Amino acid sequence: MTTAPYPRGSTDRPTAPVLAAPQGEGAATPRDFSAQMALLVEADGSHWTEMIFRWSGITAGGLLAWLFSGDWLCLAWVAAYLSLNAVYLATLHAVKRPVARRRYIAALLLNFALSGLYTALPVYLVTFKDPALHFIGIVGFLALALHNLVQHRGLGIVALWDQGLIVIGGSVVARELYMNAGNEAEQIMVVTGTMILMVYFLLSYRSNIAVHNRLSRAERLRAEGQKMEAVGRLTGGVAHDFNNILTVILGNLDLYREIDSPAERDHLIDEVEKAARRAATLTAQLLAFSRRATLLPESIRLAGYLDGLGAMLARVLPANVDLVIRPPAPMLTVHADPNQLSTALLNLVINARDAMPDGGLIEISAEALTLPDPMGDSPARRDGSRLEGTFCAIRVRDQGTGIPPDMLDEVLQPFVTTKPLGQGSGLGLSMVLGFAEQTRGALLLGNRPGGGLEASLILPSTGPAQDGAPIRAGGAQSG
């Protein structure tokens, strides 16, 4: 079901409202451990395929140990491990930004406890005389070593804890082999071989950590270089745009002093006012991109909101472009600033319009989302954090040529545009991105299989604070 195309009017772009800059931020906030928590989530709580395979293997190993030994402790270990793992994952995914020190320490302690609990069963199994149980225990140690080598190499203190567990486990295995050796030569071989393997593993582990750290440092330097390039482009673009605006204002004011005709003077003042409004629009877009705008979020029922917004959006479209809004579910809501949401949607519609100079169809729809999805995927913000919870995706689709795949991320930067020179400021999409992230959401761009671009504005469906409480710089909520 679709609504009828909306009537069109003027093709002039409405001026975005000027956003108030935030006032003082108050006292300094406690240290945020979000980056450290994100590393734990990435290592232990984001790769669902690996986690399911790991849990299945651990469960199978525990069941086999029970079958061969008849010891009910093996089943108790499986139940305890899976339960503690569930608590650990719930802790990782329940923490919201900013992350306090005590929450990060709680997650670390759970990680240590989980690794220690895992190590307990292989240590226990190698003390049995049954070769099958010995084999299961040694395989368990090898799995622990591989997991830590791959998943925990960049986690600092967690990596040190893992190395300690490997040393303990290796020592227990060596002791059992030593005790079961048939003669002194075998005992010497066990001790020598164990020491060589332990030292080699620890050296390899540390080398792996060093390589990982070098790669991470190189990635940070590359990101810093890109950031400086973006800052240079931003300052150059702002200076260029404001210089053009000031030229118009000063030029018309100079003419104003030399002209006596009231009609011509009125015309000059009109031009000055238009230039000032362009400056106001540019300022609003910059504030939105930098997430320094003050937002007043409230619960918005999208069915009525989009229907009321349709007429305004249609006014910026030429006669050869149709706008269709697919009615969302009656109770579908988002928690956002309604004025800035309308400005963001206006920018997306204008971007879609400019992508179809020969005409076409712009389609707007909305749907509810629960993130992460069943496969564990969730959109990421610019700071690396991922969306979790209940959201609404407002999608704007066009029938244009789309955006080259290698530019899908780049066009979200300020003053980057795929339009011809003079036909776009390059601030529209960056403004929408800033608004989305300040509202604790995200903006996704993707080329459609049949041609055209789909822009998905993902916003929270409910808010953590009372409607009307302003969100200030950086997305902080104030009462």
What are 397-422's pLDDT values in tens digits?
999 888 888 777 777 776 555 555 44
Q: 137-151, pLDDT tens digit by residue?
A: 888 888 887 777 777
Q: Is residue 10 part of a domain?
A: no
pLDDT value for 292: 55
Cα 165 to Cα 173: distance, rounded to the nearest angstrom: 12
Indicate if the pLDDT at residue 310 is higher than 70: yes
Residue 38 scores a pLDDT above 70: yes
Whether 127 is covered by a domain: the verdict is yes
Confidence (pLDDT) at 24: 42
Q: How many contiguous H segments (helices) and E segments (strands) does the chain have?
A: 11, 7
Sign (positive or negative) of CA dihedral 401, 404, 409, 412? negative
Residue 470 pLDDT exceeds 50: no
pLDDT (0 to 100) of residue 19: 38
Asked whether residue 284 falls in the same domain as residue 302, the answer is: no
Displacement of CA 43 from its chain's centroid (Å): 16
Q: What pLDDT score was predicted for residue 315? A: 80
Strands 321-325 and 360-371: parallel
**Same domain membership, residue 279 and residue 428:** no
The residue out of 268, 289, 310 marking a domain boundary is 289
Question: Minimal CA–CA distance to 19: which of 274, 295, 273?
Answer: 295
The band of 23, judged by pLDDT with boundaries at 50, 70 and 90, is very low
Residue 244 shares a structural domain with residue 349: no
Assigned domain for 227 exists: no
Mean pLDDT of 295-319: 85
Does 472 have pLDDT greater than 60?
A: no
Same domain, yes or no: 275 and 306: no
Question: Same domain, yes or no, for 131 and 264?
Answer: no
* pLDDT at 179 exceeding the cut of 60: yes
| 248-296 pLDDT tens trace | 888 888 888 888 888 888 888 888 888 888 787 777 656 655 545 566 7
Q: Residue 136 sits in which domain range? A: 34-180
Residues in the chain: 479
Residues 372, 463 within the same domain: yes
Each as own residue / partner, the long-range contacts of residues 464-471 (CB below 8 Å, 24 or more positions apart, any chain) are 465/297, 467/297, 467/298, 467/299, 467/335, 468/296, 468/297, 468/298, 469/296, 469/297, 470/294, 470/295, 470/296, 471/294, 471/295, 471/296, 471/297, 471/337, 471/438, 471/439
Query: Looking at the 3D structure of the chain, how many domains does it have?
Result: 3
Same domain, 333 and 439: yes
**Per-residue pLDDT at 459:** 93
Local confidence band at 17 (pLDDT 50, 70, 90 cut-offs): very low
Residue 457 has pLDDT above 90, yes or no: yes
Banded model confidence at residue 28, pLDDT cuts 50, 70, 90: very low
> What mean pLDDT is predicted for residues 312-331?
87
Distances (CA, A) of 7 to 10, 11, 48, 310, 353: 10, 12, 48, 9, 15
Measure the CA–CA gap between 293 and 470, rounded to whole angstroms. 10
Domain boundary among 180, 197, 217: 180
Query: Is residue 391 in a domain?
Result: yes
Q: Which of 123, 120, 87 is nearest to 106 (CA)?
A: 87
**In a domain? residue 341:** yes
Q: Where are the alpha helices (DSSP H) in 70-183?
A: 72-94, 101-125, 131-151, 157-179
Contacts of 411 (CB under 8 A, 6+ apart): 403, 417, 418, 426, 429, 445
Which parts of 259-337 fold into alpha helices (H)? 262-289, 302-314
* 435 domain residue, yes or no: yes
- Tell me the C-alpha to C-alpha distance, in Å, between residue 395 and each of 53, 124, 314, 418: 35, 55, 16, 20
Quick one: 392 and 268 in the same domain? no
Same domain? 241 vs 314: no
CA distances from 381 to 41, 195, 329, 363, 440 (A): 15, 46, 27, 25, 9
Q: What is the pLDDT of residue 415?
A: 56
Q: What mean pLDDT is reported for the chain? A: 76
Q: Which two tokens stand for residue 272?
A: 């000055």
- Looking at residue 222, its amino acid is R
User: In whole angstroms, what is the distance from residue 114 CA to residue 162 CA?
Assistant: 11
pLDDT of amino acid 374:
63
Has residue 47 got a pLDDT over 50?
yes
In a domain, 9, yes or no: no
* Three-state DSSP state, 312: helix
58 and 162 belong to one structural domain: yes
Residue 312: give its domain's CATH number. 3.30.565.10
198-208: average pLDDT: 74
Residue by residue, DSSP assigns 391-430 as EEEEEEE--S----GGGTTGGGSTT--SSPTTS--S-HHH
State the pLDDT confidence band at 13, using cuts at 50, 70 and 90. Answer: very low
Whether the model pTM is above 0.75: no
Residue pointed to by tokens 């969730």: 378
Question: What values do phi and psi take at 443, rounded to 5?
Answer: -125, 125
Please give the helix or strand (H or E) that residue 325 lies within, else none: strand 321-325
The answer to whether residue 369 sits within a structural domain is yes
**67-115 per-position pLDDT tens digit:** 888 888 889 999 998 999 888 888 887 767 677 888 888 888 988 898 8
Return the percentage of the chain with pLDDT > 70, whole number: 76
Q: What burial class does residue 159 get, using C-beta atoms within 10 Å of its C-beta: 0-12 exposed, 13-18 middle, 19+ buried? A: buried
How would you classify residue 359: left for phi > 0, otherwise alpha for psi between -120 and 50, otherwise beta?
left
From 33-47, 261-275, 325-339, the region with the lowest mean pLDDT: 33-47
List the single range of 2-16, 102-116, 380-394 with lowest mean pLDDT.
2-16
Q: Are 173 and 179 in contact (CB under 8 A)?
A: no
| Same-domain pairing of 285 and 303 | no
Q: Are residues 116 and 240 both part of a single domain?
A: no
Domain boundary among 145, 180, 215: 180
Q: How confident is the model at residue 309 (pLDDT cuts 50, 70, 90)?
A: confident
DSSP codes of every residue in 172-216: HHHHHHHHT-SSHHHHHHHHHHHHHHHHHHHHHHHHHHHHHHHHH
